[in-house]
DNA sequence: CAGAATCCGGTACGATACTG
DNA sequence: CAGTATCGTACCGGATTCTG
């Protein structure tokens, strides 16, 4: 919050903070609509607790929409809000960069013992 | 690491993880070359420890270049590597999104008591 | 000036149950 | 199926002091 110039960046960080949010968003971006367990299956290492909390935070930021079907057994669908769609460019550029970065890292670390 | 599709995203997250990295990068993006204390002054709330550790991690990822002038008093300059420049689009899109998101949030939260 | 070295607390995250 | 409710821990990040 110190100065204006990077305020936007901080806000974005805040909205996407959390180990799993970008991954969740990425899956929602690809599949449009996903149920809770469907998401969970797509992200094997995540716990229910984490998936729930991260989704709730994304909901708070109006990035993800949570649609509950009042029935038994429960059915809940998650999707990007119209507004949340606007975050896609960030995800895309992250993915693009990440992929090339991964190769870049491998190149340089090939002979370096790391840890 | 579970599946390929979002691997890039995870890598990007990993490289930018940390409370201050995007902010540091943002400043380096704007000012090209900055000395340690110059960076510190630009980010009032950061501690030396954090600034140091975050810079070291960015260095490890070959995003930031650290140039040491062997002299007394010490002089160290930080800058984006050629490769690190490639991360700029992410920062730009984050800033752009963050700014509009901030307004978006304010609109919706105007009457909601939040914490 | 640019850090290294300690110490320390909060919390983000994980593991494991339990439930409507 | 889609969650809550506890509990425990690692570690991230802050405050402070010391140094070449």
Is B27 at the interface with chain A, CB within 8 A?
Answer: yes
List the B75 CA – D19 C1' distance (angstroms): 16
Give the Cα separation of A67 and B110 in Å (integer). 24
Q: What is the pLDDT of residue A100?
A: 85
Domain boundaries, chain A: 7-85
Q: What is the pLDDT of residue B1?
A: 42
Give yes or no for CB of A99 within 7 Å of strand C. Answer: no
Q: Which residue(s) pair with A34 in the sheet? A: A78
Kindly state the tokens that stand for A83.
């507004």
| Mean pLDDT of the region A69-96 | 95
Pairing of strands A33-35, A75-80: antiparallel
pLDDT per position as a tens digit, A74-83: 999 999 999 9
Q: What is the pLDDT of residue A4?
A: 62
Is B87 at the interface with chain A, CB within 8 A?
Answer: yes
Q: What is the pLDDT of residue B77?
A: 98
User: Tokens 């970065």 identify what position?
Assistant: A101
Alpha helices in A1-115, H assignment, sequence order: 7-16, 21-31, 36-42, 48-60, 88-109
User: Tokens 């969740």 identify what position?
Assistant: A24
pLDDT per position as a tens digit, A5-15: 788 898 998 89
Report yes or no on whether pTM surpasses 0.75.
Answer: yes
Residue B36 makes CB contacts below 8 A (sequence gap 6+) with B51, B76, B78
Is B8 at the interface with chain A, CB within 8 A?
Answer: yes
Instruction: Give A103's pLDDT tier (boundaries 50, 70, 90).
Output: confident
Q: Are A62 and B104 in contact (CB < 8 Å)?
A: yes
CB B6 within 8 A of CB A27: yes
What residues in chain B have per-residue pLDDT under 70? 1-5, 105, 108-115
Q: What is the interface size between A and B, counted as CB pairs within 8 Å?
A: 129
Residue B94: its chain A contacts at CB < 8 A? 8-9, 12-13, 90
* H/E element, B64: strand B64-69
Instruction: Give A2's pLDDT tier (boundaries 50, 70, 90).
Output: very low
The nucleotide lying nearest B17 (C-alpha to C1') is: D12
User: Tokens 């307004």 identify what position?
Assistant: B103
Predicted confidence (pLDDT) at residue A87 exceeds the cutoff of 60: yes
Q: Which residue(s) pair with B35 in the sheet? A: B77
pLDDT per position as a tens digit, A17-69: 999 999 999 999 999 999 999 999 999 999 999 999 999 999 999 999 999 99
Instruction: Give A1's pLDDT tier (boundaries 50, 70, 90).
Output: very low
Q: What is the pLDDT of residue A3?
A: 54
The nucleotide lying nearest A55 (C-alpha to C1') is: D3
Q: Are B86 and A97 in contact (CB < 8 Å)?
A: yes
Sheet of strand A64-69: strand arrangement: A33-35, A75-80, A64-69
Q: Which residue(s) pair with A64 in the sheet? A: A80
CATH 3.20.20.300 describes domain B7-85 = no
Burial class (CB in 10 A: 0-12, 13-18, 19+), A10: buried
* Three-state DSSP class for residue B106: helix
User: Tokens 């059915």 identify what position?
Assistant: A75
Q: What is the pLDDT of residue B80?
A: 98
């Amino acid at each position: 919050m110190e100065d204006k110039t990077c305020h936007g960046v901080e806000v974005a960080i805040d909205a996407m903070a959390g180990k799993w949010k970008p991954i969740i968003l990425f899956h929602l971006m690809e599949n449009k609509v996903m149920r809770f367990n469907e998401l969970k299956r797509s992200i094997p290492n995540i716990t229910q607790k984490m998936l729930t909390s991260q989704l709730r935070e994304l909901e708070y930021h109006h990035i993800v929409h949570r649609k509950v079907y009042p029935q038994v057994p429960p059915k809940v669908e998650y999707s990007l809000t119209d507004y949340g769609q606007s975050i896609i460019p960030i995800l895309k550029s992250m993915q693009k960069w990440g992929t090339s970065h991964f190769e870049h890292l491998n190149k340089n670390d090939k002979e370096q013992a790391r840890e």
